Structure 1
Amino acid sequence: MAERRPRGVRALPHALSRGRERVTGVLKRRFPTVAVTGMTGVGKTELVDTLTGHSGPRTPEALAESGSAVMEHRVRRGRRLTGFRFRVVPGENAATRLGALDEVFHDEPVDGVLHVVAHGHATGRRTAGTTGAATVHRDEQLARELEDWTVTAHRIASMAVRRDRPTWLVVVVTKVDLFHDDVEEVVRSYSPGSGTPFGDRLDELRALAGAARLSIDVLPVCSHLEKGSPVSAKQRDTYLRTLEARMAQLSGHV
């Protein structure tokens, strides 16, 4: 005769499973996942390192060497047991980059997106295993930036029409110290309804994903200041705090 297990014992695995689901749900709400996208050289890793307090070199030589061919993971822990889990998608190495995009927009859909642009001021990188910065032209970088965004926007749209994530997108315009006199105009050029090529792509994304479902913001940021920069440390910190505050609002932390 088979031994009968007490009812409480049979229910234990189910209770443990529900407990894990509740813990996972709380973690996702308090630490939403954010994809950080953008072409190589725009400063994705540096921005996330700044937001997370990750220590790292800030010399011009080190910045020229920064970046990764694989997806990087960072966690920001804030007050009240809240924060963000960042997934920094590599900007080059086509196979690795496309695999990372699949992961954040299909396999494990993220809650929000920081798409980083630099108004054509992305740092040039040498190819074929050589190191250091390369001489690049702004027009070429702007064209690459738009091409990069077209690929990323397509991935966001294809996921948004099938799932309820991502719910927000912030276009982060970095390196504003290089065009500090035209920040407002540059930000406008990256905004929906601006009539620019980038703005037109954003309009298309909103139409596909649903403007009510996908919140879109455009914010300027300066993560690194060179000596003699026209942007003060106080202004840099204000830019960063504004971005952090908006992310907290969009994630329901405040």
Structure 2
Amino acid sequence: MSPSGRSRTVVRKPGVAALSATVATGVLGALAAAPERVGRALRRRYPTVAVTGMTGVGKTQLADRLSRRSPADGAGEVGSAVMERRTRRSRRLHGFRFLVVPGDNAATRLGALDEVFHDEPVDGVIHVVANGYATPRRAGGTTGPTTASREDQLAAELEDWTITAHRIASMAVRRDKPVWLVIAVTKADLFAGDLDEVVRYYSPGSGSPFGAKVDELRALAGGARLSVDVLPVSSLGDGDGLTTKQASALVDRLATRLAQLSGHV
């Protein structure tokens, strides 16, 4: 009892232990959120890009050129589900991570499509076509030469696009920001004199079979949610249809467009 004979309530100030616990909680919260912030920053600087298209159109060659790697450095194992590589680092540490989806109609291809469009949706898509000049390959992993008419290859290309387009549309409607698509027409050295006509064939609003499918995709996804570019490219310059310098310029033009679409420039 106090000298005055009255009891007194003592209010204790927060101790060092309580203050330390508060600080520790804040630090742990910041550490828990750090991986997510780092992941977002990495995604902005190195967005993921799905490289799709039927077998034989030159997806791997194009990815090698974009990543500035020789085929020996960049080639993955035959039959792998995806092939990931980081590329085109600038002075500001920007680049891309490419996921090359197998072209064969196999379980690995379907699984890879689900991965890049549903499980871990990519930031953009390069869909590779070849104007009917895809290298014919035997189905089921068998080896040996084979042949296919250009008409057959165009039909197969359209069928492949139909499968991929549905997955792109499904991804686009789930995203809170627009998705970009670049249709890359490879082997441009084989039809260098008809580039404008070929680009028109693959473009929305062209009235061509492929253009009509692109129009359907834009309708499904919502035109404002999906940007579409069509660019000719050539992984090789043979000095006839296109020189090596001209082929490199087409690949550089594609890389510049990717940087623009990703907000790097």
Structure 2 length normalisation: TM-score? Answer: 0.87
Structure 1 unpaired stretches of 5+: 58-62
Structure 2 counterpart of 1:7: 22
Q: Deviations over 1:194-217 (max 9, x none)?
A: 001110111111112121221100
- What pairs with 1:104-143 in structure 2 (closer than 5 Å)? 104-143=116-155
1-side partners of 2:217 and 2:141: how far apart? 36
**Percent identity for Structure 1 against Structure 2:** 61
**Once superposed, what is the RMSD of the aligned Cα atoms?**
2.1
2-side partners of 1:13 and 1:107: how far apart? 29
Structure 2 counterpart of 1:144: 156
Structure 1 counterpart of 2:95: 83
- Number of residue pairs matched by the alignment: 246
Structure 2 counterpart of 1:60: none
1:201 to 188, 206, 213: 213
2-side partners of 1:166 and 1:50: how far apart? 27
Structure 1 counterpart of 2:236: 224
Query: Which letter does structure 2 place at the counterpart of 1:233?
Result: T
Query: Which letter does structure 1 place at the counterpart of 2:33?
Result: R
SS of aligned partner of 1:212: helix
Query: Which letter does structure 2 place at the counterpart of 1:230?
Result: G
2-side partners of 1:192 and 1:69: how far apart? 32
TM-superposed deviation, 1:128: 4.9
SS of aligned partner of 2:174: coil
2-side partners of 1:206 and 1:114: how far apart? 16
Question: 1:141 and 1:185, CA in 2 relative to 1: closer, same or farther beyond 3 A?
Answer: same
| 1:29 has 2:44 as partner | yes
2-side partners of 1:135 and 1:97: how far apart? 23
Structure 2 unpaired stretches of 5+: 1-16
Structure 1 length normalisation: TM-score? Answer: 0.90
SS of aligned partner of 1:20: helix
1:17 to 18, 21, 32: 32
TM-superposed deviation, 1:133: 4.0
69-78 vs 47-56, which moves further:
69-78
2-side partners of 1:233 and 1:69: how far apart? 30
Q: Contact 2:191–2:241 at 8 Å: present in 1 too?
A: no
Quick check: which has more Rg, 1 or 2?
A: 2
